[in-house]
Each structure stands twice: as C-alpha cells, then as structure tokens.
Amino acid sequence: MEELLDKLIDWGSLYGLKVVGAIAIFIIGRFVIGIVTGIVKRIMIKSKTDETLVKFIVSLAKTALLLILFIAVLNQLGIQTTSFIAIIGAVGLAIGFALQGSLANFASGVLLIAFRPFKLGDFVEAGGTVGVIEEISMFSTIMKTPDNKEIIVPNSNITGGNITNYSAKETRRVDLVFGIGYDDDIKKAKQILERLVSEDERILKDPAPVVAVSELADSSVNFIVRPWVKSADYWGVYWDMTEKVKLTFDAEGISIPYPQQDVHMHQVVSA
C-alpha cells in the first residue's frame, strides 16, 4: 500500500504541474482566441466587408487558433506532437484530392464575396443561366429565373466564364430596329419614331435618343431606335415601344414588310 502511495506521489509530482499548466494554457488560450476573433470581426465589419465573408474568416481563424491551442496543450503534457502534425497534414492532403471540385467552388465563392462582381438582387447572366441573385454561399450561388425557377449554380462555373451584370449600371440603352417598305415615306416614318420616343416619360433626355436609318435591307428600309432608360424600365420601354410603333405605323399607313421572294415563271414553248 505504501508502495502504491509512493508511486501516486511520484506521478503527481511528475505530471501534476504539467496537467495544471495544460489546463491553464487551455483556459487562457480560449480567452485569447475569443478576444482575437472578436477584434478581427469588428475590424472587418467596420471596413464594410460582406457578412458572409466575415463569418467565414472568423470561423476559419477560430478553427486554426483552436488547433494551435490543442497542440500547445499536448506539448505541455509531454506528448510528442510531431507525428500528430504529420498525420493532420496527410489527412488534409487526402481530403484535398478527394474534394477538388468542392475546393474549387469554395475558392470561387471566396473570390465572389471578396471582389463582388454582383450583389443580392442583381439581374445577371453567369454560369450558363440568367436570373436574379438570391443567395451567395461559399460553394454555390442561388439564382431566380424570370419565370420564377430557382437555379443553384456552382461558384466555379460562374468565375470560370463571363459575367454580365445587367443591374450594375443605373441606365441602359434600348436597341430597337424597325423596318418600313421602300415605297413608304422615310421622313414621315422618322418623325413618327421621334415623336413616340419623346412622348415616353421613362426615356431619358441625356444621353439623347438616336433615331436613324441604319440599313437598306433586301426588303425593307431599317431604322434604329436607341433610347436610354433607367435599368428598371428597360423591358417596359422595350415592349411598349414595339407595340406603339406597330399600331402607329398601321394608323399612319406605314408598312412593315416581311421577307418575301419574287418568283418568275418562264414558259418554254416546244418546237
């Protein structure tokens, strides 16, 4: 019994201080990690960093610091951590190879959040689809199509191609083409188009709209009509102007030709 007690005393004197030191390192380390991550979060919020990126960076920093703290605690207990670190590295490498696609989407998500080529609510063409941005996560972006379908696009598909952001600018130019017949009055048709453009209050005065003859096509004289509007009014002006031009041309006797071919029949008289 005395021998067992002596062994316990020896063990306590040998490891007791190490255990107490390890506990102290853990408690102080957790306190310091909380302070550091809090400072990082406040700095990023003050710099108006995207909320998703803030959460990701804070979480990543906390995980890395906890790992360092765990290794420090093991060292204090006298446990060799060299092999442990090697195992973590090997496991990380294996996971990296197994999740190459996911890591690519993750890296693309970081780029999208950091550089912000678009924001929530923007109407964009990216990743092979067109729609309104509803959510940007670390691995995918959720878009809503004009016919109210939800599409989840991997982030790597977006960063790997062209991104067209139709909402990035406050104004857009509406490009319209109207054709009239060769026998119609060009000046009258131009006056009608200019009047219709000037009557629409949604069309901006600056930049000035353009109405001009652009082409003498095979079966029509084509006018280009290029007014500038606010981005939100683009499709309304596009559709309304198309309808107004057709109705007004009909009322004013201006024809809108359609493609046609003249077929000439030659009769061959046999001898």
pLDDT tens digits for range 117-155: 888 889 999 988 999 999 887 788 999 998 999 999 998
> Which residues belong to CATH 3.30.70.100 in the chain?
171-252
Q: Is the pLDDT of residue 91 over 70?
A: no
**CATH no., domain 117-165:** 2.30.30.60
Could you identify the residue written with the tokens 């605690």?
73
* pLDDT (0 to 100) of residue 13: 57
> Which residues belong to CATH 1.10.287.1260 in the chain?
7-98
Tell me which fold the domain 171-252 belongs to: Alpha-Beta Plaits (3.30.70)
What is the distance between the alpha carbons of residues 10 and 3, in angstroms, rounded to a whole number? 11
* pLDDT (0 to 100) of residue 214: 93
- Would you place residue 193 in the very low, low, confident or very high pLDDT band (cuts 50, 70, 90)? very high
- Would you place residue 250 in the very low, low, confident or very high pLDDT band (cuts 50, 70, 90)? very high
- Spatial CB neighbours of 50, under 8 Å, sequence gap ≥ 6: 113, 114, 116
* pLDDT (0 to 100) of residue 84: 63
| Nearest one of 235, 189, 236 to 212, comparing CA atoms | 189
- Arithmetic mean of pLDDT, 88-111: 67
- Arithmetic mean of pLDDT, 37-63: 77
CATH classification of 7-98, choosing from 3.40.50.880, 1.10.10.10, 2.60.40.420, 1.10.287.1260?
Answer: 1.10.287.1260
% of the chain surpassing 70 pLDDT: 78
Alpha-carbon dihedral sign for residues 189, 194, 200, 206: positive
DSSP state of 203: B
- What pTM did the predictor assign? 0.60
Q: Is the pLDDT of residue 238 over 80?
A: yes
Q: How far is CA 139 from the centre of its chain?
A: 12
